[in-house]
Amino acid sequence: MKIWWILLLGGAATYLTRLSMILLFSRWEIPAWLRDGLRLVPAAVFSALIAQEVFIRNGQIDLSFYNERILAALAATLIAWRTKNVLLTLAVGMATLWALQMFFH
């Protein structure tokens, strides 16, 4: 029963923090400099999440040629840049990663 209280309280806290921002910004005009800065937040967060998965292995930075995640990320980046197709980018990135893992292991 304790886990249900934790889930409910966590959900309520998440909902209330998001609702507070929505209510605040519905009554207050956001300055242009803040709006421009907030536009960059999703890309920065996404980059930080991806960088950890690509460059860190076993708790250490691995920039070697044998880090298949770097090569797969480079392939996915190239496909994303050339095609702007999210599904194709994911498919090529995952296929490259799997193929390199089979080759290196």
pLDDT digits (tens, 9 = 90+) for 42-63: 999 989 999 999 999 888 998 9
Sequence-ordered strand ranges (E) for 1-105: 56-57, 60-61
Q: What is the pLDDT of residues 3-19, one digit of tens each?
A: 999 999 999 999 999 88
Question: Nearest Cα to 103, choosing from 71, 60, 61?
Answer: 71
Instruction: Single out the residue of 63, 86, 89, 64 nearest to residue 75, CA to CA.
Output: 89
* pLDDT at residue 97 is higher than 90: yes
Q: Is the pLDDT of residue 25 over 80?
A: no
Residue 83 pLDDT = 96
Mean pLDDT of 74-79: 96
In the predicted structure, residue 105 carries a pLDDT above the cut 90: no
Question: Mean pLDDT across the stretch 83-96?
Answer: 96
Where do the domains of the chain lie? Answer: 1-30, 41-104
pTM for the complete prediction? Answer: 0.65
Looking at residue 65, what is its pLDDT? 81
Quote the longest CA-to-CA distance of the chain: 57
* SS3 state of residue 14: helix
Inter-residue contact 89 to 80 (CB < 8 Å)? yes
